[in-house]
């Protein structure tokens, strides 16, 4: 993989015969002026590079229409997306477009219009303008499903005071330190049981001497089961037995429904879904059926009486937490195993820190995590290189200036995490997997703000952040205490985008008992 490089000085949005922004010379580049003129000409391999506009480099602020863009005709762009497979490679499309047009560009695809940004200075400007009630783009297919099924909406689909009232309740349950202390033991219990299950599988199916066997597997099915088991234990205080030899069909159906929902969401974002609903299009039917199964699982009668402190929380929010707590932790763990496997020196350094912390923690998982900051560094590094959600969206409540362009209030602005995480102007040696870069102590880089945004930022950051962070760290801790991890191939993983970023093919991981 190569890294991207953005310089902070000058484009007018005019067509160039070279790549002016990232120090990379592609064979061909598509550049479009603010007036919509297309120049698609062969590049001559020139090495000189021009930078992007410095704020204040001109005496006047340029208009929204002058922001470089990929084409002003939404339906033409949509057809291009379909033909070139951009829905599955949206992260790569973003990376290539920043490479061609610079650190800000407009995009109009089907019914969606966005302004995309990458530089931390612009991201800071965006978030600092969001006000008391941050606004973000509504996922209309999800909202339409809730309306036609007469389900209440969760906070993910709400804005304004309605969002705030729900969010205040949820913060007490999942983000405050008292909540973390409550659910850490529940997550630790599931992480320990996952390791016991894996140990039995290695002994039963692995190769080598007894007690030192190793097993090469695709861990993704077990990781999905782990994630669902963990989130259900937090939300309902009930184990659902997914580590047994015959996990329930209902739970397997729920995992399938989440994957189907994620896969059908992206194309629906760009299409008139009301029309698809009216004509009974199969894409909409698959999407709605997936959500029906998710809601059905979330409201199982046996769980209604186990809500405990969750009783004031609307069911829609609990369902969204459960649906959002599976792929969004299982997939990063796949990437984490892969990166630790192909970076054995990093793995051993983290293991030594974990062993020391575990020995001093006297069995307290929260104390053990606090003594092993490299575990959190692993999560940050994985989500820098492989962000689960490749964008964070906001709609500024007032006009803002980005790269010397005026962006009107109410415009959907997307922070593009995948290209940002791989930019050499944002991170030193960006393609190196280095959990220590996030450490504030000796040997760690000093990472300034607005560079780690996989869970969002501010009042609208991911409500399940603390659950996800601790869940992944606890599993990694117990895995590193019990297994050495290696991989069959150190080649970069090819990725695909549904609503989340995931491997095209899950990597095979070798677990060897220590």
Secondary structure letter of residue 117 according to DSSP: E
Tokens of 45: 């391999």
**C-alpha distances in angstroms, 118 versus 104, 126, 403?**
7, 11, 11
215 has which bridge partners?
511
E strands in 364-469: 391-394, 400-402, 405-407, 413-416
The CA distances from residue 308 to 44, 185, 298, in Å, are 67, 17, 15
The structure tokens listed for 337 are 């195993």
Short-list 499, 476, 403, CA closest to 194: 476
Task: Decide the pairing of beta strands 483-487 and 413-416.
Answer: unpaired
Q: 409: helix, coil or strand? A: coil
Short-list 34, 25, 107, 118, CA closest to 68: 34
- What is the 8-class DSSP label of residue 372? -
Q: What is the DSSP letter of 423?
A: B
404 Cβ neighbours under 8 A, 6+ residues apart: 53, 54, 55, 56, 57, 58, 61, 62
Which residues, other chains included, contact 190 with Cβ-Cβ below 8 Å and sequence gap of 6+?
226, 229, 230, 233, 239
Going along 13-164, which residue ranges are E strands? 28-32, 38-42, 104-109, 112-117
Is residue 381 within 8 Å of residue 331, measured between CB atoms? Answer: no
462 annotated as ligand-binding = yes
| Structure letter (DSSP) for residue 156 | G
Q: How far is CA 403 from the centre of its chain?
A: 25
Structure tokens at 327: 């792929």
Q: How far is CA 153 from CA 109, 225, 229, 369, 449, in A?
A: 26, 26, 24, 35, 32
| Cα→Cα distances 170→16, 125, 156, 232, Å | 50, 27, 12, 16
Please state, in angstroms and rounded to a whole number, the distance separating the CA atoms of residues 374 and 362: 19
Q: Summarize the annotated binding site for heme as residue ranges.
A: 462
Q: Summarize the annotated binding site as residue ranges.
A: 462
């Amino acid at each position: 993989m190569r890294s991207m490089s953005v310089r902070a000085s000058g484009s007018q949005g005019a067509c160039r015969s070279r790549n002016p922004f990232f120090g990379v010379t592609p064979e061909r580049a598509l550049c479009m002026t603010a007036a919509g003129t297309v120049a698609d000409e062969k590049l001559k391999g020139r090495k000189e590079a021009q930078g992007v506009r410095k704020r204040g480099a001109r005496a006047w602020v340029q208009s929204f229409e002058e922001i470089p863009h990929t084409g002003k005709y939404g339906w033409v762009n949509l057809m291009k997306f379909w033909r070139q497979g951009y829905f599955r490679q949206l992260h790569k499309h973003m990376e290539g477009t920043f490479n061609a047009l610079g650190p800000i560009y407009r995009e109009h695809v089907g019914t969606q219009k966005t302004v995309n940004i990458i530089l931390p200075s612009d991201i800071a400007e965006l978030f600092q303008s969001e006000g008391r009630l941050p606004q973000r783009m509504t996922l209309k297919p999800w909202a339409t499903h809730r309306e036609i099924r007469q389900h209440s909406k969760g906070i993910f689909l709400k804005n304004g005071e309605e969002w705030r009232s729900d969010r205040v309740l949820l913060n007490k349950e999942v983000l405050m330190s008292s909540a973390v202390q409550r659910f850490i033991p529940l997550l630790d219990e599931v992480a320990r049981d996952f390791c016991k299950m894996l140990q039995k599988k290695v002994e039963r199916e692995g190769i080598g001497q007894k007690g030192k066997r190793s097993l090469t597997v695709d861990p993704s099915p077990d990781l999905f089961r782990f994630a669902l088991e963990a989130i259900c234990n937090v939300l309902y205080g009930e184990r659902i037995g997914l580590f047994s030899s015959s996990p329930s069909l209902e739970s397997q159906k729920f995992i399938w429904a989440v994957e189907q929902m994620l896969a059908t969401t992206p194309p629906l974002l760009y299409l008139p879904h009301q029309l698809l609903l009216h004509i009974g299009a199969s894409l909409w039917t698959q999407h709605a059926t997936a959500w029906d199964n998710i809601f059905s699982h979330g409201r199982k009668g046996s769980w209604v009486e186990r809500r405990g402190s969750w009783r004031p929380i609307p069911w829609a929010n609990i369902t969204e937490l459960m649906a959002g707590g599976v792929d969004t932790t299982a997939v990063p763990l796949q990437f984490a195993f892969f990166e630790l496997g192909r970076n054995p020196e990093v793995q051993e350094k983290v293991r030594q820190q974990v062993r020391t912390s575990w020995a001093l923690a006297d069995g307290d998982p929260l104390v053990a995590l606090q003594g092993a900051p490299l575990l959190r560094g692993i999560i940050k590094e994985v989500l820098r290189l492989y962000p689960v959600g490749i964008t964070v969206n906001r709609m500024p409540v007032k006009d803002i200036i980005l790269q010397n362009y005026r962006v009107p209030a109410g415009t959907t602005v997307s922070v593009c995490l995948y290209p940002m995480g791989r930019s050499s102007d944002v991170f030193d040696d960006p393609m190196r997997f280095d959990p220590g870069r996030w450490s504030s102590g000796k040997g760690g880089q000093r990472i300034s703000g607005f560079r780690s945004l996989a869970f969002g930022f501010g009042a609208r950051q991911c409500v399940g952040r603390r659950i996800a962070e601790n869940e992944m760290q606890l599993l990694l801790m117990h895995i590193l205490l019990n297994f050495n991890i290696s991989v069959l191939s150190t080649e970069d993983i090819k990725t695909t985008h549904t609503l989340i970023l995931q491997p095209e093919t899950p990597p095979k991981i070798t677990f060897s008992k220590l």
